[in-house]
């Protein structure tokens, strides 16, 4: 169960996962569509570790995703997600699934409807990334959805972190690199 943590009266923080709190997160890679990338997600005392060998041909993505939260997380008191990570200089993507009507319909489509935003990591050291909910874009299988949909922060059912050939706009990801990958996600929080 998520509990709000008040750091300052004007700043509410809801811890989603940190350290060994990433239990249940699992890999999902391009092999589901015939690709050849291999990646694994594991949990250690520092957080979620994604290690992979990314192959561009035939798919070109690796990811770690949370379990489906039932009931969904109610993040309606927040306006953004904050990620703390030790990256490798690559550009990643955060995908958020919601359990609203559009999300349930999207689950009938392979890949489902997701709300995404790209983010960069530093080549070394800790990166802190803030993704406002207002920046999330609806996509199905890396293709933007042209319908007027509204993100429902009160119904977050799953998070996923990807390294993909495709950016959040469906075009080529300028920060994509094939080869060995290592990303440590230290924490994910919802913030005001």
Find the domain containing 180 and state its range.
Answer: 4-191
Q: Which residue has the tokens 């009160």?
A: 154
pTM (2 d.p.): 0.87
H helices of the chain, in order, are 101-106
**What percent of the chain is modeled with pLDDT above 70?**
88
173 touches 70 (CB < 8 A) = no
Give the CATH number, domain containing residue 37. 2.60.120.430
How many domains is the chain built from?
1
Average of per-residue pLDDT across 118-122: 95
Tokens at residue 150, please? 């509204």
Question: What is the pLDDT confidence band of residue 146, given thresholds at 50, 70 and 90?
Answer: confident
Cis status of the peptide bond prior to 71, with omega within 30 of 0: yes
The answer, yes or no, to whether residue 159 has pLDDT greater than 90, is yes
Distance from C-alpha of 52 to C-alpha of 40, rounded to nearest angstrom: 6
Considering only 19-28, 60-69, 83-92, 167-176, which range has the smallest mean pLDDT?
167-176
126 touches 86 (CB < 8 A) = yes
Which tens digit of pLDDT belongs to each residue from 13-64? 999 999 999 999 999 988 887 778 899 999 999 999 999 999 988 788 999 9
The answer, yes or no, to whether residue 116 has pLDDT greater than 80, is yes
Question: What is the pLDDT confidence band of residue 112, given thresholds at 50, 70 and 90?
Answer: confident
Cβ neighbours of residue 41 under 8 Å, at least 6 residues apart? 25, 26, 27, 48, 49, 50, 64
State the pLDDT at residue 137: 94
């Amino acid at each position: 169960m998520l509990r709000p943590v008040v750091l300052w009266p004007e700043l509410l923080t809801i811890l989603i996962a940190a350290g060994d709190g990433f239990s249940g997160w699992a890999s999902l890679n391009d092999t589901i569509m015939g690709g050849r990338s291999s990646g694994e997600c594991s949990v250690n005392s520092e957080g979620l570790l994604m290690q992979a060998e990314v192959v561009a041909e035939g798919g070109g993505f690796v990811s770690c995703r949370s379990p489906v939260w039932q009931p969904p997380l109610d993040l309606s008191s927040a306006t953004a997600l904050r990620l703390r990570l030790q990256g490798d200089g690559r550009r990643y993507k955060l995908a958020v699934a919601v359990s609203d009507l559009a999300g349930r319909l999207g689950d009938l489509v392979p890949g489902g409807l997701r709300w995404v935003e790209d983010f960069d990591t530093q080549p070394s050291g800790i990166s802190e990334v803030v993704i406002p909910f207002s920046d999330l874009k609806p996509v199905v299988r890396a293709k933007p959805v042209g319908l007027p949909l509204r993100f429902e922060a009160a119904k977050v059912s799953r998070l996923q972190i990807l390294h993909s050939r495709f950016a959040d706009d469906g075009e080529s990801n300028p920060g994509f690199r094939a080869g060995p990958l290592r990303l440590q996600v230290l924490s994910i929080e919802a913030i005001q």
